[in-house]
Amino acid sequence: MTTLFQGSGVAIVTPFHADGSVNFKKLEELIDWQIRSKTDAIIICGTTGEASTLDDEEHLACIRSAVEVTNKRVPVIAGTGSNDTKHGIHLSKEAQRLGADGLLQVTPYYNKCTQNGLIQHFSAIAATVDLPIMLYNVPSRTGMNITPKTIASLSQIDNIVALKEASGNISQVAEIAQLTQGKIDLYSGNDDQIVPILSLGGKGVVSVVANILPTQTHDLVMHYLEGRCKESLDLQLRMLNVINNLFTETNPIPVKAAMNLMGLDVGSLRLPLTDMESDTLARLRQAMTDYGIEVTL
C-alpha cells in the first residue's frame, strides 16, 4: 500500500488579488515557504482552498501551479471531489495528467447518497486513475458520514489508501482502525484532534493551522511518531487556543484573516464567504499574540 505522507499536510489557502482573481505568484510563495518550514505535503484545492468557488480552469491551474513549484520536494495531493461522479472523474484524470501525486476525494454533498452510493461513487473514480486516493469524511459540511463498514469495504480497492477523518468522532476512528487493520492510512482532519488520532495509529494531519504554524504542526506529528509523545501533547495543547480561534467562523475565513494579520497578504474570500467579524477577529488576534505569532497589521 502507498503511504501518501507522514507528518503535516497543509490544506493550503487559495490567495486572491483585490479583483478576486487567483494570485498565483502568492500561491507559489506560500508553497515554497511551507516546504522550507518542514510541511510534509501540499493539499491543494480542498475546503480551505475554496475549491467550491473555483471554476474548473482555475481549479486545474492551481493544481498545475502547485505541482510545478513543489517540483517533487513533497507530495501534492489535489482535491478533485464532486457531488457529480462524472465531474469527479474528469477533475481526477486532469489532476493525474498535471502530475499530482495523490487525490483528495470528499463525499458527495447536497444530493447525498446511500452507503452503497458512496462505494459506487468512489470506486468509479478510483477505477479511472492510477493515483493513490485519500477519502475525505467531513459530515458537518456534506451531511454525509462514511461509516466504518463502508471505509473497510473501500479499503479493499488498491488505490484507495488513506482517509482524512473530520467527523470529530474518536470512537468512529477507533472502529475504522479496528476494521481496516492497517489497510488504510488515517489522517486527522481536525487540528484539535491530531494527538488522539495519532494514538489510534494515524500517520498525520491535513491541517488548517499549518497555514500559519507550519513548523510547529510538523513537529507535533513527528514528535509523536518518533516516540516523544509528551512533547507532542504539549504542542497540541499549547496550540489549542490558536486552533480554536481558527474555527470561530467558517473555515477558511479565520485562517485567511490570520495570514493577513501576519502580513502574508492572501487577500479576501469569494462570496458567499465574507471577511471576519470584528469581535471574532479581535479574539483571533489576541490568541495569535498570546502564542507568540508576530502580528504586523
Task: Identify the structural domains of the chain with CATH numbers, from first to last.
Answer: 7-232 (3.20.20.70)
What pLDDT is recorded for position 270?
A: 97
- Quick check: helix, strand or coil at residue 230? helix
Q: What is the mean pLDDT of each run of 10 residues along the chain (297 residues)?
A: 94 98 98 98 98 98 98 98 98 98 97 96 98 97 96 97 97 97 96 98 98 98 98 98 98 98 98 97 98 92
What pLDDT is recorded for position 1?
A: 74
Candidates 54, 14, 55, 5; CA nearest to 164 is 5
203 is catalytic: no
What pLDDT is recorded for position 139?
A: 94
Q: Residue 135 has which C-alpha cell?
A: 477519502
Q: Quote the Cα angle for 14-30-263, to 5°.
A: 90
Task: Give me the helix-helix angle, 85-98 and 56-70, nearest 10°.
Answer: 30
Neighbours of 273 (CB within 10 A): 17
- Quick check: helix, strand or coil at residue 261? helix
What pLDDT is recorded for position 12?
A: 98
136 is catalytic: yes
What pLDDT is recorded for position 2?
A: 87
Neighbours of 181 (CB within 10 A): 10
Specify whether the CB–CB gap between 284 and 246 falls below 8 A.
Answer: yes
- Quick check: helix, strand or coil at residue 198? helix
Alpha helices by DSSP H, listed for 71-207, are 85-98, 115-126, 139-142, 148-154, 170-180, 194-199
Residue 78 sits at φ, ψ, to 5 deg, of -100, 130
What pLDDT is recorded for position 199?
A: 98
The Cα 271–Cα 59 span in angstroms is: 17
- Residue of 136, 187, 224, 256 with catalytic role: 136
Specify whether the CB–CB gap between 42 and 12 falls below 8 A.
Answer: yes
171's CB contacts (< 8 A; 6+ apart) are none
The Cα 217–Cα 266 span in angstroms is: 20
- Residue of 26, 164, 203, 256 with catalytic role: 164
CA distances from 257 to 13, 48, 183, 249 (A): 11, 12, 38, 11
